[in-house]
Amino acid sequence: MPAVRYGSSPLLAAKTPTWRLRLLTGALGLAFAVLLGRAAWIQIIHNDFYLKQGANRYERRIELPANRGRILDRNGELLASSVPAPSLWAIPKDFQATREQTRELARLLNMSPQELAKRLDDNPNFVWLRRQVADDVAAQVKALKVKGVHALKESRRQYPEGEAAAHIVGFTNIEDKGQEGIELAYDRDLSGHDGRRQVIKDRLGNVVENVGDTVPAMDGREIHLSIDAKIQANAYQRIRDAVAQHKAKAGSVVVLDAVTGEVLALANFPSYTPSDRRNLTGAQLRNRALTDTFEPGSTMKPLIAGWALESGRVKPDSIVPTYPGKLQLDGSTISDSHPHGDLTVEEVIQKSSNVGTVKLAMQMQPKEMWELYSAVGLGHKPQLGFPGVVTGRLRPHKSWRRIEQATMSYGYGLSASLFQLAQAYTVFARDGELVPVTLLKREFPSEAPAEAMHQQVAYKGAVGMAQGMKGPVPVPGTRVFSPDTARAVRKMLNMVCSPEGTAPQAQTVGYSVGGKTGTAHKQEGRGYAGNKYRSWFVGIAPISNPRIVVAVMVDEPSNGVYYGGAVAAPVFSQVVQQTLSRLGVMPDMEVQPRIVAQQGAAVAVEESF
């Protein structure tokens, strides 16, 4: 084959079109322009994203958790606080343990080896083994030296008062978020705000350098309650013992400071331990004093008597005929437990006469009664800022029939919570004013206004502090009755606690007391259960210059005694005795042998209900 010289190659001899050269040059130029533009976009215009991605490979953001605020009683006693609690976790793919180590680890975690194995199978990268364990458990787990098992520092809530204050304080969940009570109501204030810290870590996870500004954590604020831990504990013990004594279903106690409107105690039984909620039932969880409503029964009678006095229809010694102890009204019969004959208005309350109360009430227009009940807070939600508070039931007066107006005068046909009844009775304790209530400790200025100081002088006798000490400053209330009417009703309430009244067992050594019993059949469906009752007592002490209002309710006493004067009044007496002593209130009566709140110490007049 003949050789072809390079210079005479036909391929070189062929002329290349100029458009092809231009196309190639343009394509190369465009490619370089795109690369240059992309480089400018990454390095200059939109470099934040890539800088962040790079930083993520060596920078870490460490959360600085805020400490949850403490909950304290009015005297600074601890009700809830956070304490360190280690949590155990594992990386299942790194988990290595002998059979003995696995068995011991499961025992320490309070689970079976099978449960532990199942938990480790959930996720190969991370599983919680047990959160917020005791320090000694964490130490024993660490001593096992099981590969892949680690501990993390967390915190858990501690509740020193336990079940006594559970329904007020509430509790948090495992993530430290409020679930019930004050923990829920003030969760945002208690939680605070977490801080953060930006650091550079090496490949082993060690902090090498701080970068950027550190944002410090803001701890949650402390919540100072109006509750007195000692009064709360005593109230809980007394209602717990009463429920056991009378084989009852449940019970509640509310203690209010009639001067300041502060809640000193709010106890329920059954209760629960906030730090151990295993097997917790709904019955234990219910804050009955605030969430349960019932027909208030005879506790409404003093309100009717008070309005009859206030409107000038009667005087305390006006005669009300009640014989023969029955009253026919629109085809229905209203009865007393037994006939009393002619009674004064004072005796109508002392003997708890249904007939006498109805005769006073039927002189009023339905609108008057409705406005009276509404004025003392019935049908309105108490302004506590507390979860679960109920309004009760008070129907519009225009829908009342005559017989309904009559039964509402002695507490049937409407409903209220025990807390609402306690607040309603502040109108008698505070000379006719309904006192606003609070679960938070009231902060009074060091120098009270002149008007408040004038009121303080009036209440100084009830405070009973040491010589020279100032008493609490009365909080302004809403006028419902005149002072004269309130004092007249207080005298009636004191007569209820006399040997001739329905609650002699409410008497307290050294202090004058007054109050009203209540007993009612429990509702079942559309009717009333014949053998199920609620018993309660709402009272004031000292009656001469009131400082506290105490309300007691016992649900379904089933030990043969169910009248409020025999079931709830003794609890009232015990709570009053300790509370007034705790507050430093001086006795207003000579200490002498009297009827005291002991089973069988006095036979009460049977109340009508």
* SS3 state at 9: coil
Length of the chain: 609
Tell me the CA end-to-end span of the chain in Å, nearest whole number: 135
The model's pLDDT over 78-95, given as tens digits with 9 standing for 90+, comes to 999 998 888 898 888 888
- Which region holds residue 243: left if phi is over 0, alpha if psi is between -120 and 50, else beta? alpha
Domain ranges of the chain: 82-159, 229-273+290-583
pLDDT band at 4 (very low <50, low <70, confident <90, very high): low
Catalytic status, residue 298: yes
* Mean pLDDT estimate for the chain: 86
What pLDDT score was predicted for residue 257? 97
C-beta of residue 366 within 8 angstroms of C-beta of residue 360: no
Confidence of residue 487 (pLDDT cuts 50, 70, 90): very high
Quick check: 353 pLDDT over 70?
Answer: yes
Rounded distance between C-alpha atoms, residue 373 and residue 368, angstroms = 9
Q: Tokens 């996720």 identify what position? A: 123
| pLDDT computed for residue 606 by the predictor | 64
Give Cα 288 distance to the centre of its chain: 10
pLDDT value at residue 204:
54
Of the chain, the percentage scoring pLDDT greater than 70 comes to 85
- Contact call for residues 316 and 445 (beta carbons, < 8 A): no
Q: Can you tell me the mean pLDDT for 447-452? A: 44
CATH 3.40.190.290 assigned to 82-159: no
CB distance 255 to 550 below 8 Å: yes
pLDDT at 395: 94
Q: Does the pLDDT value for residue 376 go beyond 90? A: yes
> pTM for the full model?
0.82
Candidate list 226, 298, 415, 417, residue with the active-site label? 298
Residue 19 has pLDDT above 50, yes or no: yes
State the pLDDT at residue 349: 95
Two structure tokens written together for 48: 């934040």
Pairing mode, if any, of strands 149-158 and 78-90? antiparallel
Residue 609 — very low, low, confident or very high, per pLDDT cuts 50/70/90? low
Tell me the pLDDT tens digit for each residue of 520-546. 888 777 777 778 889 999 999 999 999
Residue 595 predicted with pLDDT over 70: no
Report how far residue 397's alpha carbon sits from residue 297's, in angstroms, rounded to the nearest whole number.
18
Which pLDDT belongs to residue 16?
A: 65
pLDDT band at 122, cuts 50/70/90? confident
Task: Identify the residue with better confidence: 282 or 444.
Answer: 282
Q: Where are the beta strands (DSSP E) in 405-473?
A: 433-434
Cα 453 to Cα 542: distance, rounded to the nearest angstrom:
21
- Give the separation between CA 239 and CA 575, rounded to whole angstroms: 9
HSE-CB at 462 with a 13 A cutoff on CA atoms is 27
Which has the minimum average pLDDT: 223-227, 247-251, 278-282, 313-317?
Answer: 278-282
pLDDT tens, position by position, 535-583 = 999 999 999 999 999 999 999 999 989 889 999 999 999 999 999 999 9
Q: Looking at the structure, give the CATH architecture of the domain made up of residues 229-273+290-583.
A: 3-Layer(aba) Sandwich (3.40)
